[in-house]
Amino acid sequence: MKQRVLHLIGSNLIGGPEKQILHHAFAMQDSPYQMEIGSFHDLSEWPEILRCAEEHGIPTVCLKGGPRFDLISELAHILEERKGVLLCTHGFKANVVGYLAARRTGTRHIGFLRGWTAETLRIAVYERMERFVLKRATHVVCVSRKQAEELGKLRRGRPMPFVVQNAILPPWSRPETAQNITRADINFPPNAFIFGSVGRLSAEKGHRFMVAAFRQINDILGDKVPLRLIIVGHGREQESLERQAAEYGLRDKIHFAGFSGNPGLWMQLFNCMIQPSLLEGTPNTVLEALSLGVPVIATTVGGVPDLIVNEQNGLLVSPGNSAALAAAMKQLVLDPALQRRLANAVLATNRIYTLAAQKENLIAVYERVCGVKRVEKMPPVPLTSDDDLAQIQLSSK
C-alpha cells in the first residue's frame, strides 16, 4: 500500500510553486507514494491547480476558502480520514492552518518555505504568522541553502531545515491560450537585442532597477544596436513602471506584455533574461529561462547563486544596483562569444537541476520524516554527516 502525501497550497493561479508541486506529483506516479494536491476555494472559479491535477489523474482535496474559524477543524477532519497521511504545506495560509491541524491530529507535517515578500502590510502580517509557525514546525523544507541558514538560526535547537532546490522545468503552457508571438507582433525590429523579464510586478522584484539600467545602456548603445525590453507579468507596480518608462522616453522600446499563460512563448524572443529581484527563494523564472537555453543576468539573492555561477552560465550582480546591472547588460550585448558560452553552459546546467534529482531528494525527505525504508532501488541522496543538520542537496553537488 502506498504512503499518502498531501501537498496543500493556497493558490488561485499556477505560478512557480504550483508548477513545482504539479510536476513533482506527475513524476511520483510510479513511486511508492500516492500524491494528493489540496487547495482553498477562495474565488468563484475552481482552483486552477486542482483542475490541472484532476486532468492528470492526481487526487485532490478542496477546502472552502475565506476567513473561517472552522478551517483548522475542517482540515483536521480530512487528516483524520486519511490516517497516516504525510501533510506538506506551502505558503503562509497552508503553513499556518496545516501546522495547527497537524498538531491537533498528530499528523506528520512538513512546512515548505517558498520565500517571503512583505509585498503589502497584510501580507507582511500573514508572513509573520508563517515565520512563527516555521520556527516551531518539526520538519521544514527550504528551496535554497541561504534560506535554510537564515530560518535555521530562528529554530533554536530544532533540526535544521532540509534543502530541496527547485527543478528546472519547461515554462508552463496553457493550450487554450497558446499563440505564437513574433517580434513583428509587438513592432520590434528583427535585429533587436531583446532583454526580458517574467514575474509578478511587485516592489521586491526590483523591476524599477531594471528599467533604470535599460535607460543607461540605451543611452550608451542605442545608436549602435537596437535595444528592446519585454516585461511579462502584472501587479501593483505596473503603473509606476509604465510612468518610469515614459519619463525616460523609452515607452516605444519597452513592451508591457501583461500576464501570460504561456511565458515560454515570450522567453523564446529574449536574447537575455533579467531577474532583478531584491528578495527571492529559488526563482522559477530563472529556471524556465535555463530550460530554454536563454542566458540570464540575475541578482545575488536567495538561491540564485546556487543556480548561476558568474560568467559561467550567467551573470550575477548585486541587488538594487542599476549601474551594475547596466554594466552586465552592456557586457553581454557587446560580446557575442560570451553570449554563446553562457548559452552552452545553460544547457549543461539543465542536466544538473533535473526533476529526477528533485524527486530523489523529496523521497529522501519523505523517508526521513515517515521513518520508512526504501521499497525500490534508487541512487542514494547524500545527507550531511550531522544527523541534526538534515540538509538535502542535489546528488550532483
User: Which residue is associated with the grid cell 500516492?
Assistant: 34
- DSSP 8-state assignment for residue 159: P
- Whose CA is closest to 146, among 310, 299, 21? 299
Predicted local distance difference test score (pLDDT) of residue 376: 46
Predicted local distance difference test score (pLDDT) of residue 173: 58
Burial of 397 (0-12, 13-18, 19+ CB in 10 A): exposed
Predicted local distance difference test score (pLDDT) of residue 380: 36
- Give the integer Cα–Cα distance in Å for 297 and 311: 10
Tell me if 37 sits within 8 A of 60, measured CB to CB: yes
∠ CA 77-81-85 to the nearest 5 degrees? 105
Cell of 324: 551594475
Tell me if 10 sits within 8 A of 50, measured CB to CB: no
Predicted local distance difference test score (pLDDT) of residue 135: 95
- Whose CA is closest to 17, among 121, 143, 147? 143
Task: Name all domains of the chain by residue range, CATH numbers in brackets.
Answer: 3-167+354-370 (3.40.50.2000), 175-350 (3.40.50.2000)
Predicted local distance difference test score (pLDDT) of residue 28: 95
Predicted local distance difference test score (pLDDT) of residue 157: 84
342-357 burial code (b ≥16 CB/10 A, e <16): bbebbeebeebbbbeb
- Give the integer Cα–Cα distance in Å for 313 and 334: 17
Enter the pTM of the model.
0.79
* pLDDT means over runs of 10, the chain (397 residues): 94 85 94 96 89 94 85 96 96 94 97 79 84 95 90 90 87 61 94 95 94 97 94 94 97 94 88 93 84 91 88 94 97 93 78 86 94 51 33 30
